[in-house]
Amino acid sequence: MFRRGGRVRAVRQGSHEAAIALALTDPVTNALAGARLRELGRSATLSQEFSLVGEERSPEGLLWHGVNLNPISATDRALEDFGRQQSSRPRRSSSVVGDRHAVEILWEALAEVWGSDVREYRWSQPLLLAEDPGAVPKHPPVGLRAAVPGEEAAVFPAAVAMFREEVGVDPLAGDGGRSYRSRIADLIRRGRTYVVIEDGEVLFKADVGALFGPVAQIHGVWVRPDQRGRGLGRAGMAELVHLVHRDHVPQVSLYVNDFNEPARRAYAASGFRQVGELSTILF
């Protein structure tokens, strides 16, 4: 008898190594989910947030079903299995995100049951990579540096403004911003928030939101509104590539909404090129 999502099983510690190996076949696309997969390697939460299709030692695909619903290097058949399984469960995730082709297949099974909850579709999000810091165009230095513990109060308002503008929701809602403030403090502690600060105020910020294999994925890029159109974003991103390469890993990536033409021009001028396309469905 056919069972909904019958080939889907939880990722457990015994299959974690094979799951990581599969995610690393495309670390740029899988950076965010892969980082979470690696983080949960010795945790009981692993089996609650990650599933696989196929053999544990040789999976056909993975699915992160935590805060995001994110397919990872999955075959079309595996995506169909994941879609059937998830469509029979209550939605926990605040977004569906991943390679566009994968999201489109997954969404075929989910649209009927989750479609009424959708807040926004962002089907085309170019995935960009600046592999060689030596090839990044030179710009006048803007004084970008890693934020340090003690600067959380300066960074927090910029981070909140970025989140409201980019995601369209308020990170202070719910718990008054405690979890978001904790996330910002953790990024600063790890040397993963980079800022330009003048007179105690942040003019530019960007975070290394995920580290997976050789790849850093940049999140939270923000320029203070009165500084936009002056080249700060382009120069800041060019410096960011060099600093992340020096401090963390050799490859720097990010993704951007196709309709955000100013950001796309800034990233292109900072040496980023398109290597793929993601999609995000927001709830």
Strand, helix or coil for residue 265: helix
Q: pTM of this prediction?
A: 0.92
Would you kindly state where each structural domain of the chain is located, as residue ranges?
8-118, 133-277
- Kindly tell me if the per-residue pLDDT of 136 is higher than 90: no
Pairwise CA distance, residues 252 & 127, whole Å:
11
8-118 shares its CATH topology with 133-277: yes
Q: What is the DSSP string of 39-101?
A: HTTTSTTHHHHEEEEEETTEEEEEEEESSEEEEES--HHHHHHHHHHHHTS----SEEEEEHH
Statement: residue 1 has pLDDT above 50: no
Cβ proximity of 93 and 220 under 8 Å? no
In tens, the pLDDT along 140-161 reads: 899 999 999 999 999 999 999 9
Q: 236-278, pLDDT tens digit by residue?
A: 999 999 999 999 999 999 999 999 999 999 999 999 999 999 9
Q: What is the pLDDT of residue 232?
A: 95
d(CA 17, CA 10): 14
The CATH number for 8-118, chosen from 3.30.460, 1.10.10, 3.90.550, 3.40.630, is 3.40.630
Res 38 pLDDT > 90: yes
Q: Answer yes or no: is pLDDT of 42 > 90.
A: no
- Confidence band for 6, pLDDT divided at 50, 70 and 90: low
Is the pLDDT assigned to residue 88 strictly greater than 90? yes
* CATH code given to domain 133-277: 3.40.630.30
Q: How many C-beta atoms lie closer than 10 Å to residue 231's C-beta? A: 14
Percentage of the chain lying above the pLDDT 90 cut: 91
